Structure 1
């Protein structure tokens, strides 16, 4: 690839290949996981989270896989939020650690009104954002903060994490050590559905979290959950591709499992089926149109 180059959808969309080697299979897998943790690609979606999750799957680690592995273990698709982590509290601790560094920078802003300067405490609440407003809260204490060395002691649910990192704020790739062991993770602010949330990604697992003071967490609990719009009446394109066929007409009654449209991507035809019974209301995208992810193809009544 090159700067300014277009990633095509008609042929091979590979933009990079990562190769590692080790003394044995487990060593190579460990090195590959570490490399993927620090592999930053933005502007387009990539399969890095899925590859990281695949490398952590017990059957893949032991070499028990075949060409039907994905269909068997990921039949309902893949979501980085659902990947189990060896130590999920580490993601919470890292979110609190990075938030404490952001607050330290805020407290150093010049021109603050005397007697009303920004004061940063040690008690925080990390709210991990879940599906349909099912959030999880964790009480966290961040102490022994040292701005120059970039280290803090973080307590999460009785677990202690001594985290140190010199990563600059706003830098996506965060490298450092936790309890004497090196780590590489990715931290971003404002990339999820909530612009104030921190997205933490490590070893294939991804969480969106907000860090509050104890009072702020209490007030956040009072905020009503706004449900996303109902998209069940729309057929959306699951991938970028070329719409080569629309198999239904407005007013046509369709049954669950009936063919609705065909999308061509990477020289393969992907057939879209009806998820439920219904009546076609409007055809939005025309045959031969180039589609983007989640673009509406048709509407149901």
Structure 2
């Protein structure tokens, strides 16, 4: 076994590898960019080495600097995590030349599976079923358009070197093909340095099922069952589970054998994933092989009781696989939800900022949180905006689903937008609850998942107000304790008056909804009025913003987190980012930007879709912005004329920057 390894990655996977290595008595070295100088994985590791500026292309993607760091620290092996250089054959070869063990498959296997087109040809020879399509070398746009006509619409354009949903578009009609092809190629070129694409027949109502495989240097290869990754947005996985609902033993064995054959065909060693598109009727087709550990590997660990990172380390050190196929079995059901800093209501745009408040559910034998950040850390625009992976286990899917709902209700994030409320709605929709799964579930359930804003419940206004009053009282006590006269009555905030009770008002707002709360001070309590509702309110506010409230005869548990002029109320499994309105000066950080023509986040302008002076309709694309490795289209908010652009292709823009000089029509 190794004495010291270097982790050539960041975030939750780096933290996870460090944790497992420590349990095996292996010392760890973290590498980091300037932006990650105080990141959690850096704080956890035994040693840390700076490898470059914030941009991944100047740090985490520079293999020479990583190898140099390994040599300088005496590391014997490099664990690549996933993403970055984990599937880079040149990096794997460079590690070998440097006398370092690459904790992953041999470079030949990465090469064989790294390009989807070549991998499909190899799988065809091995007898693994393939989706109908074109995966040849001819990349001429006219030729590809002709191939799409032969395949029949809808078709899927996919970056040959891609992954993670980047460089992928569904096209439903010939008229849309060329624009989609151009966008795919541009995104693939920026993300992978290779703009080759392949075409596949788009299977209607497909399921995305993948098989976890593991091989060693002694010729052994096993599959550790399947994961259902059908629930996706923009071709990126949102919720994964294992085992796949409705999977028969016969189909599992058939897919497992096909996955092992795929791995054996390339002499695979280490952890890998063979991904299939499956039909509702039970058929399946090879899609691609990821030659690395997958983000969703924890659900496999939960149902098998195994540590796949430990298996990686043991196999890479030359040991045989710890178990044979007949020794593996499934215990219970597991689900994983990816907690992202993003705004689902704005097309899942990534969000950046400081994690002012981060309170995940308590971990236990059946609830696990894998994360690379802690409260106070920054979500930057340089890397994937994942906050954590929330994993739950149950004896069956019904229990796992109940635990996922409960855990999401306990998850609290303040400082950036998050998808927690969206995930809570997603696991509650009947199609997901009843396991009617396919990759179009989110689009099909759009109305349930993106309901129009409703009225803010009265309890939320009351809880926000009580939380604010308790926060004021605590602040006054702290100030009094630090003063020369801590018992002075002038420091009290209990509203005492000589000739009767005093009152005040708080004004709160959420979007277009504003609410004035009348407050009357009473002994040890406050009488709060919201419209016709009046209650006597008292409670305690913990330092972690937990609020134990009594409203009249009811006792409620919530959290009220202050961040600037926001008062984030977490109650009954939902959150409300209210604004505390300064009635002397309305405005500030709590106001919403007119975001239609502004940059939704820092990024780079990569294309202008119309010329200055053009008349456009509402929804017409105006320009394309690249941010966090994905393309985002800025569209016209209404009919009007594009007078000009403030930036040219290639320009970097800051969050909220004005992009277009736009004159709306009548």
TM-score of the pair, normalised by structure 1: 0.64
Shift of 1:114: 6.6
Distance 1:8 1:226 in 2: 26
User: 2: CA distance between counterparts of 1:140 and 1:26?
Assistant: 41
Take 2:557 and 2:468, find their aligned partners in 1: how far apart are those partners?
18
Q: Which residue matches 1:31? A: 406
Match status 1:21 vs 2:367? no
Instruction: Find 1:127's aligned residue among 507, 510, 517.
Output: 507
Bigger Cα displacement from structure 2, 44-53 vs 62-71: 62-71
**CA–CA distance in structure 2, aligned partners of residues 284 and 45 of structure 1:** 27
Residue of structure 1 in register with 2:576 after alignment: 206
Higher relative contact order (CA 8 A, sep 6+): 1
Asked if the contact 1:95/1:209 (under 8 Å) is kept, the reply is no
Retained in 2: the 8 A contact 1:252–1:280? yes
Q: Corresponding residue for 1:98?
A: 467
Call closer, same or farther: CA 1:182–1:263 in 2, change over 3 Å.
same
Distance in structure 1 (CA, Å) of the matches to 2:450 and 2:601: 14
8 A contact 1:263–1:269 mirrored in 2: yes
Work out which of the residue numbers 402, 418, 439 in structure 2 matches 1:46. 418
Q: How far apart, CA to CA, are the structure 1 residues paired with 2:655 and 2:448?
A: 18
Q: Equivalents in 2 of 1:89, 1:300: separation in Å?
A: 40
Please give the secondary structure, in 2, of the residue aligned with 1:129: strand
Which residue in 1 is equivalent to 2:247?
none
More helix by share: 2
Aligned in 2, Cα 1:47/1:299: closer, same or farther, shift over 3 Å? Answer: same
Helix, strand or coil at the partner of 1:19: strand
What secondary structure sits across from 1:237 in the alignment?
coil
Cα deviation, residue 284, structure 1: 0.9
Asked if the contact 2:646/2:658 (under 8 Å) is kept, the reply is yes
Aligned pair partner of 1:190 in 564, 573, 577: 564
1:16 aligned counterpart, secondary structure:
strand
Q: Which of structures 1 and 2 has the bigger CA Rg?
A: 2
Classify the secondary structure of the residue corresponding to 2:466.
Answer: helix
Shift of 1:266: 5.2
- Deviation at residue 52 of structure 1 after TM alignment: 4.0
For residues 22 and 154 of structure 1, the distance between their equivalents in structure 2, rounded to whole angstroms, comes to 44
Structure 2 counterpart SS, 1:21? strand
Counterparts of residues 88-237 of structure 1 (less than 5 Å): 88-105=457-474, 107-108=476-477, 109=480, 110=483, 111=485, 116-121=490-495, 125-132=505-512, 134-139=513-518, 145=524, 157-158=533-534, 163-165=539-541, 167-168=542-543, 171=544, 173-174=545-546, 176=548, 183-192=557-566, 198-202=567-571, 203-208=573-578, 210=580, 220=583, 231=594, 235-237=597-599
1:28 offset after TM fit, Å? 1.0
Instruction: Give, in angstroms, the shift of residue 189 of structure 1.
Output: 4.2
Whether the aligned pair in 2 keeps the contact of 1:237 and 1:294 (CA below 8 Å) is: yes
Would the alpha carbon gap of residues 235 and 277 (structure 1) be closer, same or farther in structure 2, given more than 3 Å must change?
same
CA displacement, residues 4-47 of structure 1 (integer Å, 9 cap, x when unaligned)? 4565757743232112335615531342234313xx454x5432
CA distance, structure 2, for counterparts of residue 59 and residue 141 of structure 1: 48
Q: Given that residues 103 and 120 in structure 1 are in contact (C-alpha distance below 8 angstroms), is that contact kept between their aligned partners in structure 2? A: no
1:70-97 CA-to-partner distances (Å, cap 9, x unmatched) read: 4355579969x93677xx3332332233
Deviation of the 1:129 alpha carbon: 1.0
Partner of 1:294: 656
Q: Are 1:279 and 2:654 counterparts? A: no
* Partner in structure 2 of residue 195 of structure 1: none
Rounded to whole Å, the distance in 2 between the matches of 1:22 and 1:144 is 48
Structure 2 CA distance for aligned equivalents of residues 296 and 206 of structure 1? 28
Distance of 2:431 and 2:537 partners within structure 1: 30
8 Å contact from structure 1 (residues 50, 204) kept in 2: no
Distance 2:569 2:555 in 1: 18
Deviation at 1:188, TM superposition (A): 0.8
RMSD: 4.6
Residues of 2 paired with 1:252 and 1:204: CA distance? 43
Instruction: Give the match's secondary structure for 1:256.
Output: coil
Change (3 A) 1:285 1:159: same
Give 2:618's aligned residue.
256
* SS across alignment from 2:393: coil
Say how many residue pairs are matched: 269
Unaligned runs of 5+ in 2: 1-10, 12-35, 40-53, 55-378, 496-500
Provide the C-alpha distance between the structure 2 equivalents of 1:286 and 1:75, rounded to a whole number of angstroms.
37
Unaligned runs of 5+ in 1: 146-151, 193-197, 213-219
Q: Distance in 1 between matches of 2:658 and 2:444?
A: 29
**For residue 31 of structure 2, what is the aligned residue in structure 1?**
none
